[in-house]
Amino acid sequence: MSEVVFYEYWRSSAAYRVRIALNLKGVTYRSVQLDLVEGEQRNPDFLARNPQGLVPALEIDGLFLTQSLAIIDYLDARHKAPPMVPADPAARSAVLARALVIAADIHPINNLRVLNYLRSALGQDDAAVADWYRHWIHEGFAALETGAPDRGLFGGDLPDLADVCLVPQMANARRFDTPLAAFPRLVRIDAELTALPAFAAAAPDAVKP
């Protein structure tokens, strides 16, 4: 079997999601860190393979995969346990909807290139950028909290795709001093998840160069 190579940045929440999935699936990989702050994701060699110039990307099975949820979907198809989404169509749709609250609604408007644009092109100071960040986290978390279980994980006894997306976003929320008192279910789920070895080993502080 050829080597699995993961192109990432240690602080990227999208890369964090994929690290969790790789660990849950038991896939061994070599990490290649691309420093987003220094713009290393824009180097010509990487752009030739990934024209978006974004991380994460995964080299596996002779393929070069991009976009975190697409990578996780591939891993889920190749490595069945534990499943990231259920087989039942209605249950699958519900899991995807929860995951996409984070991956499609919160994260894209709060990632580094958006924050940099707010500062550089729109002239916003750090306080305004932080307010922007916390606002969109609060919007998404309020919706997730409403449907979160009273006990167990989003996936029940085993983590699912919503759980995999939640933990990196909770880490980001704390980085930006987002008040979390309104989200006790999410805080509880996050605490249970981060105690699991696959999640702990994927944490930014655990992989920071």
Give the residue-averaged pLDDT of 102-127. 92
Position of tokens 């500062």? 119
Is residue 76 domain-shared with residue 94, that is, in the same domain?
A: no
Residue 183 has pLDDT above 80, yes or no: yes
Is residue 70 domain-shared with residue 38, that is, in the same domain?
A: yes
Is residue 78 domain-shared with residue 109, that is, in the same domain?
A: no
Q: How is residue 76 written in tokens?
A: 């889920």
Give the residue-averaged pLDDT of 205-209. 94
The one-character DSSP state at 87 is S
Looking at residue 86, its pLDDT comes to 96
Is residue 107 domain-shared with residue 178, that is, in the same domain?
A: yes
Looking at residue 1, its pLDDT comes to 62
User: What CATH number is associated with residue 154?
Assistant: 1.20.1050.10
Give the residue-averaged pLDDT of 188-193. 98
Contact (CB, 8 A) for 30 and 5: yes
Is residue 53 domain-shared with residue 118, that is, in the same domain?
A: no
Give pTM, 2 decimals.
0.94
Residue 187 has pLDDT above 80, yes or no: yes
Is residue 163 domain-shared with residue 99, that is, in the same domain?
A: yes
CA distances from 184 to 17, 30, 33, 82, 176 (A): 22, 36, 34, 26, 18
Owning domain of residue 120: 89-197
Sequence-ordered alpha helix ranges (H) in 79-125: 89-100, 112-120
User: What CATH number is associated with residue 59?
Assistant: 3.40.30.10
Give the residue-averaged pLDDT of 130-140. 95
